[in-house]
A = this chain, B = another copy of it.
């Protein structure tokens, strides 16, 4: 068990690699992987079976890496960052399990979604179990402040997903509204993951805030690049189907931009396919053509670059060193995935 797919992007843009970060956290991440396997155990066999399916399906574990690297950059030398990183990954896994039920997805990370194999019921409940285990691990760190930050993230993530339910299938969603969704459903956990690294190391508020900002902006950049990839050919390489968002009728930034920049006919197309959900053969190709016509992929990546820049600048207050360089490079890597 415990297969983790190594990152391999970044070749296109010099210096944009996640390898340094991965190498720096290798020893810590081995402990996190052990803790993941241990804490996903239960005498109820279905739980490790279902949790293991997702845990071993090649997630990148970027969120726990953020916790580990942030804690290390802050000079932390104790054992609690392992627990927090594991808790962060469990929160993420629980969210994925619940998301698949909510989105009625059939695929997750290129494999059948757990809900398809074991049913929605087990996916909901195993998600709840992992969340309970996550909070137990946080308690074991004795850090009430970390608990506060991560409990808040849990509430904000769920809130963001509910918000997405309401705005989804509304093609006239503004970029601002969409960013609120991204801020909640993706950036909240990235920011909490990074922030608790400073908290566990007992660093001052300014460093907590810097890492919170780093994580949040990196999370936004990460999600926007994901949105762009979903309409681009490169997506197939990442183990996700191209056009998943289109088929699931998600309004993402490439759509928001294309809709706003499109003419009346084009808007009717988006309304039919995404609001009314009437999709025919060839619609995805047409959507991609419209997105290309309006440079919506390039501009989505431009927006991502903007947030990536903020993330990088947020790190400025930390002394130069290997950890800071690796976290900064992670931002470049995140953007360069798009190319």
Contacts and interface: CB of A to CB of B under 8 A. Distances in A.
A136 B155 contact: yes
Tier of interface size on chain A: 35 or more
Nearest to A154: B132
A220 to B, nearest CB: 19
Interface string A118-143: 00111011101101110110110010
Contact of A46 (B121, B131, B166): B166
Interface string A153-178: 11111110111011000000000000
A223 to B, nearest CB: 18
Contacts of A131: 128, 131, 154, 158
Given A120-B120, A128-B154, A154-B131, A46 B144 contact: no
A124 B155 CA distance: 13
B139 A120 contact: no
Interface in A184-205: none
Given A42-B159, A148-B139, A165 B132 contact: no
Contact of A144 (B98, B129, B142): B142
A120 B147 contact: no
Contacts of A133: 155
Contacts of A155: 129, 132-133, 135-136
8 contacts: A42-B159, A47-B162, A129-B162, A131-B131, A132-B156, A135-B151, A136-B152, A139-B144
